[in-house]
Each structure stands twice: as structure tokens, then as C-alpha cells.
Structure 1
Amino acid sequence: MNQPSFHFPKSPRAKAIAFGLIFLLTCIAIYFYSHSSAVPKVKGTAQNVSVTAYTVTRQDMKRKISLSGQTVPVAQVDISTKYAGKIADVAVNLGDVVAPGQVLLIQDTADTNLTLNQDKAALEQAVADSKAAESQFGSDLQKAEVEYDTAKMNYNRYAVLKNEGAISQQELDTAYQALIVAKSALDNLESQNVGDVPASVASKYAAQAKAGYTIDSLAQQLDDMTLRAPRAGVITYRNAEVAP
């Protein structure tokens, strides 16, 4: 039976390599041995270990972002009075929140109210003049019709008398002239109509309508002298003060 034999290199270099390998193997063996012995081996019963548990719930993530910029309104409305005049009341201040139609400012309406009252009196006068003109025209027309019928009847009677020789031609001519005058007056009244209304009455109606338009205009002016908010918003600028 052959015995194992070891052959060592004889050259110095080979010996150095061999000893180096042996040294490396020895270091590795020492490393593994030292680490394996460092692990404690506990014998006996298992020990209790404390564990903290958390319940996970769904939540919105909170983020805080700092940005720089400029805020602007959705709409900006500059409001001013339609008519020049004194200011009687300012109903809002800077920063006030207003609703649509809310009163912002009221101008002094004393002079406008005085003018409005005068125009109302003028309208009443125009209405009275219209009724008087209607009545007068009706009376004049009726009178002209009666005078024409009378003149026509007289002329026909005078014509019969002339044929009988009871009156002269001059008397018949005078009756004819009276008939012509009466007919002319009646035609003049009947030809004055503007549509279905006599001219003298139509002019009074026009004056009445003009007075009514004037009152409507002043009433609108009074309403415009009360400044209201056109929409909901915030007062960001105010340049109005009550007149002393």
C-alpha cells in the first residue's frame, strides 16, 4: 500500500508561494472560527420580544406650497354718478361686501323734486287744456252745423218767396251769402282733423304728451341719482364724501 508523500518545492520562490498560501488559509480559518464563536447560543426557554403595531388608514397627503403672485378680481366695475351734484349720503365703506341692487350712494334730489312737481302741475294743466279744447271744438262744430242748417233753410224759403215775387233779388242774394258763410265755417271745422282728432285738440294732446315725457325723464333722473351695486362684490375704492 502506497503511503502519501508530500513534496515541497526546493526553489526559494516556490517556497515563498507555498508559505503564502498556507498563511492565507490559516487566516481564513481563524476568521470563520472567531465569527462563529461570537454568535451567542442561548439554551433554555424562548424570551418575550415586545412589538409595536400600527393600523394603516387612508388619508389625504398634506402639502404646503409657498408661491408668490398677485390676486385679481373676476370683474372690476368702476361706478360713478350720471349727473353732477351734491352727495346726500354714502352708504358703504372700503371693504364692505355688497349685494346686487344695494344702495351705494344717494345724491341731493331737492332741486330735481321741485322741478318734477312743477312738471306734474304742467301735466295737469295740459290735461285740462285738452279737455277744454275737446269741449270747445264740439261746441263750435255744433254751432256751425246749426248755423248752416238755418242759413240753408232761410235760403230755400227766400228762393220760394222770390219766385212768388214776394221779395227782391237782393234779399235772396243776402240769404245766399249767409248760406255760403255758414257752409265755409262748417267745412273749416270739419277739415281740421289730424287723423280722427281736430287740429286744435291734437295740439293740446301733444302738449299733454310732452309734459308726460318730461315727468318720466325726471323720474328716471331721480332713480339714477341713487347709485346701486350692479353686481355682488367688495368695495375696493371709494372717492365720495357727503357734501357739507
Structure 2
Amino acid sequence: MLKKVLVIVAVAVLIGVAVWMNYKSKNQLPEGFATSNGRLELQRLDVATLYAGRVQQLLVNEGDSVKENAVLAELSSEQSNSQVMAAEAGKDRAKETVVRAAAEVSARQQQQKVAKLDLENTRQLYQQALVSKAELDRRQAAYDAEVAAVHAAQAAQAEATAAVGQAQAQIHSADSTHQDMLIRAPKAGRVEYRIAEVGNVLAAGSKVVTLLDPSDVTMTVFLPTNTVGKLKVGDDARIVLDGLNAVFPAKIKFIADQAQFTPKYVETADEREKLMYKVKLAIPSEIALRYNQLLKGGMTGNGYVRLNSRANWPKQWAIQLPQS
């Protein structure tokens, strides 16, 4: 009986050793590669209001996916409506002034024609000694006055036309302000937080909604000096997330130019390594968008980097995307 128990124990030990060796062989870091744990981060976009106002409607909830230029919220617009209406009324008045100025120009031109005819007739009569030189001078002065009046009317017409353009510019400005009371998504994303609620009075520049950009997914890892010195921006990397049977491709997007103390959540292989460099790994945007419902900020995992760009990635870190 004892011998049987010993055999069973020995077999169990051998199986345990085999499993441990297999696990170690799969997870042991090959030479020429480095790793560190980290968390996924999605680029955050704070959407704010350009003008002060009261929140009239909030059209999204936390977690909603929105398209670029989608309306997220609407602020009260009574004042902006009034500005638009006032600008449109100013344009109407300017148009009426243009019409009156055009009529004045036409009337003055007719009077100029009459004055010209009178002047020409008076010249003929003067040549026949039928009128005095004083009468000819009077008709000449009358004609010159009508010419000047035409020029003045034309200048008034041009000024009125310019006033129409100015009024149109005021309409554009007022309409732009009115449109800015609609808070729109600067790009496609996912709503993270509703910072304001209906009824809140916001100052200019106040945040209304926070969006996450699903196309900009990164993981920040911290690596020691002897590792960072062999890396460069644009190098290939891999990201393996906890709980997912997948290996995501990545690129080194950023390498800090100054070392810092190791954050507490970073598990380092050598406790003597106190100064680490921040390295940011980015998942390609097309892959991030394809799995935007799967990749969430805060997911934990490991980032792997290759210290020699000519080295082949081990089989366990071959790219393996999740099943759609």
C-alpha cells in the first residue's frame, strides 16, 4: 500500500514538474527581448463649450458611440437667436437703403441729362448772340452741380451696398455663434463621461462631455536604461492583455528622454532597477477600430519589445487577433 502511495506521489510530482517546465518555457523571456506590464489607455477628448449658456438638452449617455460632428448637447440659444434676427433685420434695412440710393442715382442722372440739354441749347443761343454770357455761365454751373450730385448719389449707393455686405457678415457671425450652441463631437468616439447635466449653467470653456478615441489605443510600459538604449520610435512591439487569448501588434510611439522612479504598479524583474524610462506602445488605428468594443481603457497586460530589429519574434508572440 505504501509503495502504491509513493508511486502515485512520484507521478504527481513528475506531472507538476512537467507542467511547470512547460509553463516556464512558454513564458520565459528569450534573449533580445524585454517586457513590462501596463494598462491600456484610450486618447481622451474633452469637449467644451465655446460660449456661456444653460444646458438645454444632452443627447448622449455614457458608453454611447458617436460619429464625427454628431450633436452631443444643446445649450440655450435665445440670445444667439436674437442676434441672428437682429443681424437679418439690419441686412433688410441695408437692402432698402441700396434701393433708395439706386433710385436717387437714377433721378440725378435724369436731371444731369436735362441740365446738359439746357447747357447745349444755351451755347447755341449764345453763339447767335441771343443770350448773355452770364446766362451761359449759369447753365454751366447748373450742369456741373448735377454731375456732382450724380457722383454723390453713386457714392451713397456704393456705401449702402457695402453696408449690405457688412450686415451679411454680421449674420454669419451671429449664425456661427448660434451653431456653436450645439456641442458637436470633434471626431468619432465613445462617450466616457457626461460632465454637465440638463439645467447646468456653463461658463465659456466649460467641459460638457468627455470622449474616448477608439482609434488611439496605447499601453505605457517602463523599461530600464540598458533596454531603452536599444529601442527607437517606430520599432515593432507586441501587447498581450490579461484574459484575452490574443497578441496585438504595436509600434513604439514614444520614448521618454528622462528617467523616473519606477511606479509602484510596475513589476520589475530586478528590484535593483529603480530608474526607468517611460515607453508608449500604440496599436495600429485600423486594428484598434476593428476591436473598439473589445479594447477598453484600464485593461491590464504586458507589452513586449524587441531589442534587435533583425531578431524573429518567438512563436508565443506571433500576431494573433481575437476571433470576430
- The answer, yes or no, to whether TM exceeds 0.5 is yes
Q: Give 2:91's match in structure 1, choosing from 120, 123, 137.
A: 123
Give the 5 Å matches for 1:210-221: 210-221=166-177
Residue in structure 2 matching 1:72, options 41, 53, 58: 41
Deviation at 1:95, TM superposition (A): 2.4
Q: Percent identity?
A: 25
Does the 8 Å contact 2:73/2:183 carry over to 1? Answer: yes
- The residue number in structure 1 matching 2:145 is 185
Task: List alignment gaps of at least 5 residues for structure 1.
Answer: 1-63, 163-170
Is 1:173 aligned to 2:142, yes or no? no
Conserved in 2, the CA contact under 8 Å of 1:109 and 1:222? yes
**Residue 133 of structure 2 is aligned to residue 137 of structure 1:** no
1:238 correspondence with 2:194: yes
1:159–1:172 contact (8 Å) kept in structure 2: no
**Quick check: 2:61–2:191 contact (8 Å CA) kept in 1?**
yes
Q: Identify the structure with the greater helix proportion.
A: 1
Paired residue for 1:226?
182
Larger RCO (CA within 8 A; separation ≥ 6): 1
Kept after mapping to 2: 8 A contact 1:88/1:107: yes
Q: Structure 2: any 5+ residue segments left out of the alignment?
A: 1-25, 28-35, 201-324
Q: Which amino acid aligns with 1:173?
A: K
SS of the counterpart of 2:83? helix
Contact 1:105–1:227 (8 Å) recurs in 2: yes
C-alpha separation between the residues in 2 aligned to 1:190 and 1:138? 8
Checking the alignment, whether the CA contact within 8 Å between 2:112 and 2:150 is kept in structure 1 is no
- 8 Å CA contact retained: 1:94, 1:238: yes
Measure the CA separation in 2 of the matches of 1:208 and 1:225. 26
TM-score (norm 1): 0.61
- Kept in 2, the 8 Å contact 1:96–1:235? The answer is yes
Q: For this pair of structures, how many residues does the alignment match?
A: 169
TM-score normalised by L of structure 2: 0.47
Larger radius of gyration: 1
Stretches of 4+ aligned residues off by more than 6 angstroms: none
Aligned-partner residue type, residue 38 of structure 2: G
1:97 CA displacement:
2.2
Shift of 1:68: 5.2
Aligned to 1:208: 164
CA contact (8 A) 1:133 1:204 kept: yes
In structure 2, what is the Cα distance between the partners aligned to 1:100 and 1:144?
61
Higher strand share: 2
- Give the C-alpha shift of residue 238 in structure 1: 2.6
In 1: Cα distance, 2:67 partner to 2:76 partner: 23
Counting only pairs closer than 5 Å after superposition, residues 1-244 of structure 1 correspond to structure 2 as 69-73=38-42, 75-162=43-130, 172-189=132-149, 191=151, 198-243=154-199
